Amino acid sequence: MIISIVITQNNTGDIMEILKIAVLSLSSFVVLFILSKLMGFRAIAELSFFDYVVGITIGSVAAEMCTNLDIEWWKGVTAMVVYTLLDVAFIFLSQKSLKARKFISGVPIILIDGGKIIKHNLKKARIELDDLLTFARLAGYFNISDIQYAIMETSGKISFMPIPQKQPLCPTDFNFTPEAQSLQVNVIMDGKIVENNLAAAGITKKELVRKVHQRNKEVKNIFLATIDSKKVLRIFDK
């Protein structure tokens, strides 16, 4: 009887710990989401060294807050908020000061200049020649001699400029000005009319349905339909 009570108490304690971890995990997720929105898309699109450090740290704090039940939850939240405010402050500082921006985000490094590989800049960027060749192939340059300039950006990505003979032709090379293209507006998605987009597309619901029927289609059978400024309807079936 006593053993049964002890087992029941242990099970109850385990269930309570699991529920507590679940609640803390959900809370940390919500906090991380809010803080990520505060830091902005830059933290995702252009991950600088400082952003990387802050992201790793905040993630570690969030994981510790979820799994270490001895730590009070507000301490973890406070730490994450402090790191987020630091990141926002550094972003603001880098926007206001060129020197601060260079210190925080670094400066672009020229890896290939006029078709010549700058060896000491490879060391400065801490990448090997094989890495440079790999990035070049990923960018579509299988012959290194086709590259005029290669620059490592502050985000860690490498930008390439081909030699003049390998640069793609554009309309201005033929003294030709193509007609400007407008954005495609999604008017039907997954069999439903996106009524909020009809005004931007310059079309009414009735007119849209009529155009769909003229193509011998039904709205419910359309996966995606877009329309441009000339009211040209493009339909993609399910």
Which residues make Cβ contacts (< 8 Å) with residue 67, sequence separation at least 6? 21
Dist. CA 111–CA 131, nearest whole Å: 12
The pLDDT of residue 142 = 93
Question: Is residue 87 within 8 Å of residue 80, measured between CB atoms?
Answer: no
Which residues make Cβ contacts (< 8 Å) with residue 49, sequence separation at least 6? 105, 106
User: Of 31, 144, 147, which Cα lies nearest the Cα of 81?
Assistant: 31
pLDDT digits (tens, 9 = 90+) for 82-118: 877 877 787 788 778 777 777 777 789 999 999 999 9
Task: Say how many C-beta atoms besides its own lie within 10 A of residue 218's C-beta.
Answer: 11
The pLDDT of residue 7 = 46
The pLDDT of residue 208 = 92
Residue with tokens 């192939």: 137
User: Of 223, 238, 236, 234, which Cα lies nearest the Cα of 185?
Assistant: 234
CA distances from 159 to 1, 64, 155 (A): 73, 38, 11
CA 133 to chain centre: 25
User: Of 173, 196, 197, which Cα lies nearest the Cα of 184?
Assistant: 197
- Write out the chain's pLDDT in tens, 238 residues: 444 444 455 556 567 766 766 676 666 667 666 766 665 544 444 556 666 667 777 777 777 776 676 767 777 778 778 877 877 787 788 778 777 777 777 789 999 999 999 999 999 888 899 999 999 999 999 999 999 999 998 878 899 999 999 888 888 877 877 777 777 899 999 999 999 999 888 899 999 999 999 999 999 999 999 998 888 899 998 7
The amino acid at residue 162 is P
Question: Is residue 84 within 8 Å of residue 38, measured between CB atoms?
Answer: yes
The pLDDT of residue 38 = 62
Instruction: Check: pTM over 0.75? Answer yes or no.
Output: no
The pLDDT of residue 28 = 64
Tokens of 198: 């009809």
